[in-house]
Structure 1
Amino acid sequence: MRTRSVGKSWRKLLGSQQAPAGLTLVTECPPLSQGGTEAIAQWLDRNPDTRMVVIDVFAKMRGQAPQGVSAYNEDDVPVGYAKRLADHDGIAVVLVHHVRKAGSDGFLTEVSGTNGIAGAADATLVLKRARGRAGRRTASCTSPAATSTKPNTPSASNPPPAPGTYWTAP
């Protein structure tokens, strides 16, 4: 994404508010398999208080798969690069990826690509908005935490969802 587009998006999101302290936007990075993993790791070394890295959009960071690699491994391997960064530094690495345009029975099959993407990730969150229907959105999540049987009790650190927001269980 061009720097000008990023600035325009942030101005639209923030309005007249200042960006959060500690927020860093990087608009250029090589693909994960071609030096991107190392570049992010070096940045994390210089910024040890980092808690999260967001890669938006994952398709531009995944790089080209070697010839002869299965479609599953073509998806699994680049997610593995991001997961190793997360595990090594104890941070969240969020990969923004697209869903299929065609609907499906289960939300995991809506993730564009093979099961290698969702299979390699610690958690998968699918956000959806029905086309032409403002207001109702759904978020479906799978992770070890999502299988908890404890009720999701709203609190100061866990406010109830906004009106018009619906969560669906996997």
Structure 2
Amino acid sequence: MRKNNAPLRTVDGATLMSQPLHSPNFVVDTLLAQGLHILAGSPKVGKSWLALWLAVTVAKGEPVWNMTTRQGTTLYLCLEDSVLRIQNRLFEITEDAPSSVHFCTECALIGQGLEEQIETFLTAHPDTVLVIIDTLQMVRPVHDATYANDYRDLSVLKRLADKHGIAILLIHHLRKEKAEDVFHRISGTTAISGAVDSSFTLVEEKRGSGRARLTCVGRDIEYRELELRRSEENVWELVSDSREEPVLREDRIVVLISAFMSTRTVFIGTPTELSEKIDPDKAEGVTPKKISRLILQSVEALRKNGIAAVIRRSNGKRVIELNRADSVDLEGAGEIVPIDPTAVDQPSGEGAAGAVETDSSLWGGQASRPAIRRAQFRGAAPYPAPEGEEEQCRE
């Protein structure tokens, strides 16, 4: 085996917490992001009905249980169904299926051509946002059910989803045995739950009752339980949602900050000071930790609204600086390119990247502000404050 002598690529915490980054793209807002996911349920519980409705709804760009969707092409690999059955089910759940939802009843196995088939479809349909594989077992090669094999198979699909920025949803089964944690009932080893970004379980209250609980957990979503009811048209309808607190989204923080900056040109203050000013009664759920993260992930959106945003450290404190400029100044700066988390890594050490020049476009085109040179991952965070600078809020 060839030895890998490449150095570890690291990023220090101060730098990471000051970098503009892309937030995950959601296919179904707050529920289904890009990446690999699994939906498990008992046989005949209605998983395939839910998968079919999801494929059609996303292709139409219609809401899923009051959650907005990212409209685009969808591919449903319905490997346990016939074309006739899919046609019959389509007529039950919708009056008009769009041409952007595609169905296939046969495909290759993982590692034996499936990845290439999906890649070919994505090339022909570059606006694809969702691929559903029903069921996972139908695309797995025959081998022992070990942790290593489970993880290896799902990692192939995980890499495919990440490479193309799409969501891949695997339909799977639950064990009959009861468990205190419903996710322990997902068939297979724990590698299946470990390899995916989100896990969903659909469990009926009672066989044939038409009422079920969808339990959700994942890396990019909060834990929640959705109570569902199956309609006469075999569509799972939302009855209740365990999530009570509103989710503070990137677009909402842009609205709040834009309104706040409409009466001032500059704000310099701590995350606590800014959160208290834009959400004094806490109705929006703004917290100091949330506001720092959302601003970093909304640099480009803020720029389009005429606001330049920078987060830096001053006298040992984290400081947010907002500058309102006219549209001419901002347009002259060119486009801000948020940093992809996977692209942040660079070799550390004295002989690594060295000093790089920070693009002044992060300041929304303030040409009068000189570019600041900083080490990529060494030393202080970007945009250090001048010696003795004090935090301030200028209105």
Residue of structure 2 in register with 1:76 after alignment? 151
Residue of structure 1 in register with 2:179 after alignment? 104
Give the drift of 1:146.
3.0
SS of the equivalent of 2:202 reads strand
Rounded Cα–Cα distance in structure 1 between residues aligned with 2:178 and 2:145: 24
SS of the equivalent of 1:48 reads coil
* Structure 1 residues 88-113: Cα deviation after superposition (integer angstroms, max 9, x where no partner): 10000000111112211112211111
Rounded Cα–Cα distance in structure 1 between residues aligned with 2:117 and 2:195: 21
Residue of structure 1 in register with 2:238 after alignment? 162
Is the helix fraction higher in 1 or 2? Answer: 1
Give the drift of 1:162.
2.3
Matched-pair contact (CA < 8 Å) for 2:110–2:156? yes
Matched-pair contact (CA < 8 Å) for 2:197–2:220? no
Distance 1:8 1:63, change over 3 A: farther
Higher RCO (C-alpha under 8 Å, 6+ residues apart): 2
Is it true that 1:7 corresponds to 2:75 in the alignment? no
* Structure 1 residues 131-154: Cα deviation after superposition (integer angstroms, max 9, x where no partner): 336243211122123348xxxxxx
Question: Which AA in structure 1 matches 2:109?
Answer: P
Rounded Cα–Cα distance in structure 2 between residues aligned with 1:119 and 1:29: 25
* Structure 1 residues 68-104: Cα deviation after superposition (integer angstroms, max 9, x where no partner): x661122212211211111010000000111112211
Rounded Cα–Cα distance in structure 2 between residues aligned with 1:3 and 1:78: 27
Question: Which AA in structure 2 matches 1:5?
Answer: R
Q: Which runs of 4+ in 1 moved over 3 A?
A: 165-168
Matched-pair contact (CA < 8 Å) for 1:138–1:167? no
Question: Which AA in structure 1 matches 2:180?
Answer: D
Q: State the percentage of identical aligned residues.
A: 29
Is it true that 1:39 corresponds to 2:114 in the alignment? no
Q: How does 1:1-170 map to 2 (within 5 A)?
A: 1-14=81-94, 17-65=95-143, 71-132=146-207, 134-147=209-222, 162-163=238-239, 165=240, 167=242
Question: Which AA in structure 2 matches 1:86?
Answer: A
Matched-pair contact (CA < 8 Å) for 2:145–2:188? no
SS of the equivalent of 2:91 reads helix
Distance 1:86 1:41, change over 3 A: same
Matched-pair contact (CA < 8 Å) for 2:130–2:167? yes
Rounded Cα–Cα distance in structure 2 between residues aligned with 1:166 and 1:140: 10
Matched-pair contact (CA < 8 Å) for 2:174–2:186? yes
Point out where structure 2 has 5 or more consecutive residues left out of the alignment. 1-80, 224-236, 244-395
Matched-pair contact (CA < 8 Å) for 2:146–2:189? yes
Aligned residues: 150
Question: Which AA in structure 1 matches 2:211?
Answer: R
Larger Rg: 2
- Superposed CA RMSD in Å reads 2.1
